Structure 1
């Protein structure tokens, strides 16, 4: 079994203190990132040090595919680190820490959001990185499909992958796959999906897909509905260990 963690924005506490920010993306989609998706740089480091210090193995996507499709075993204490949306803070703050600690991670890339040219860092908004910047972080991050232009929502219960036709969704998946390395791994935008979404991924030959439903992934977990845990800022370390499924 294994646990997956998902991060979005990792920033110093002084930057987080100014509150919720609008996103800035290449295709012009407008939204704001909820505050629970921010983690302080200090807490991010604390979490990684906890994982390293207690002997966790940081998984690759190939290891997870082997677990589900080739009946391979995983190390007893296994974890996958993921990021969504490719905001500037991922490069400015998270990337140097992960690189220094020798930890690889997966980044789910909404490629229609990614800029063609690098933008100046802005504390006051959540700006997405450029393709060149993402390439520069390839020694740490494996990039996977998060749709091309379909990272859009209506409220908290419906995302674009649910209201477009299957054919249109498949075409968008193919567009995203022109830019990402892991072409058979997906994360549902906003964690919103239905069983039609799952079936479309299955017919498009995807092997893994990640939700934002918390929990531990076991052999019984459907590989196209894998659990991911959002790490809430300042979650006490004992509660964090509970999230990992550690026995007391």
Structure 2
């Protein structure tokens, strides 16, 4: 059995782990054959988990290590297999017949598994099985093709081997949902904001988080979302990013305890100029902002990122002031926000445009200010290869049912 501690220490944080290992150690991948059915492990999100198995007699390219396992290429990262399950390739089998072009670029497409999923040696369910991918995985697709019955097959690469998965057994990934929230209030105290779509009740928010927990969803950080957009990280199929804009006091008062209870994480996009020096007495009829102490108190759940410094304003109804500012004014504000928030987080790398307003100047300024990603209010999911400074999000509105939420978040294309 693999030593999980050793695995965690060996894993790198990006999908280039396999290539890094080769270059760092001066190693060459060698082809070996499984002597029996063998479980395989990999890092998915921030956990090392069992990701499937490879059948007896299959050939994969592995890299030797000093530990009791070999490493191999698995998706955007590194897989692990016990050494005692592998032996030199038997006889004079032509390994190259089982390979494709290893330098062929990926397609910016993934499949998602919702059950243990059979992997075949050819795009034919009658062909020899290569192995199994476990439930709840996203896995990169090289391409899609049709068989003689016009059935679609996904072509994948595992351990430098080409393999095939039927579209009857797995779905194409429709993207990662990034949820947006602002204000949270109890029903009985919500008098002023009752008809504001961006205000969610504590009861509704708690029910939504319970739904995510019960269905086995993982909450991702913006760092992991970046890995997804840039094709650098293996992630689970049932995953969601939770974001809160503005930095309102209700987030620490009501959202934080719910998220903490379920072991969830979220991102708080903070208007840095509105951070209070000291906590304000709670007033449900006012839009109150978190203090320095309150922000520090939620950081075991919330990652602090930027919602600009002074640019969260409008100059006329529903018109963000950012759209009338010069590039240099916007850049100055973005950089100032990053500096102001560095007291909470030395890695302020992500931006939420105020009121969802952006233009070419804002996109360029976000990049030049050192941000890695920026999110908008455009409705939709995030997909690999998307413009990193124009990422879409989803709103779960005050009146939305759990059925509506399920349709938005599930692996279905967004209209």
1:222 matched to 2:387:
yes
CA distance 1:215–1:244, change in 2 (3 Å) = same
CA distance in 2, matches of 1:70, 1:205: 20
Give the deviation of 1:218 after TM superposition. Answer: 0.8
User: Would you say 1:98 and 2:259 are equivalent positions?
Assistant: yes
TM-score (norm 1): 0.89
1:206 aligns with 2:380: no
TM-score by length of 2: 0.54
Alignment-derived partner of residue 150 in structure 1: 311
Contact 1:216–1:245 (8 Å) recurs in 2: no
Number of residues paired by the alignment?
235
d(CA) in 2 for partners of 1:218, 1:70:
10
Corresponding position of 1:135 = 296
1:126 aligns to what? 287
- How large is the RMSD of aligned CA atoms in angstroms? 1.8
Q: Distance in 1 between matches of 2:197 and 2:210?
A: 21
Query: Given the alignment, which residue of 20, 23, 35 partners 2:196?
Result: 35
Residue 215 of structure 2 corresponds to residue 54 of structure 1 = yes
CA distance in structure 1 between the aligned counterparts of 2:208 and 2:317, rounded to whole angstroms: 28
Identify the structure with bigger relative contact order (alpha carbons < 8 Å, sequence gap 6+). Answer: 1
Hey, what does 1:20 align to over in structure 2? 193
8 A contact 2:322–2:358 mirrored in 1: yes
SS at match of 1:35: coil
Q: In structure 1, list runs of 5 or more residues that go unmatched.
A: 22-33
Instruction: State the 1:234 CA deviation.
Output: 3.2
In structure 1, what is the equivalent of residue 321 of structure 2?
160
- Residue 24 (structure 1) aligns with: none
Find runs of 4+ consecutive structure 1 residues off by over 6 angstroms: none
Instruction: State the structure with more CA Rg.
Output: 2
CA distance in structure 1 between the partners assigned to 2:402 and 2:234 by the alignment = 27
Deviations 1:133-167 (A, max 9, x none): 10111111111011111111123553222222211
Between the aligned partners of 2:252 and 2:318, the Cα distance in structure 1 is 30
Distance 1:11 1:233 in 2: 11
**What CA distance in whole angstroms lies between the structure 2 residues aligned with 1:44 and 1:115?**
25
Give the deviation of 1:72 after TM superposition.
2.3
Distance 1:187 1:155 in 2: 20
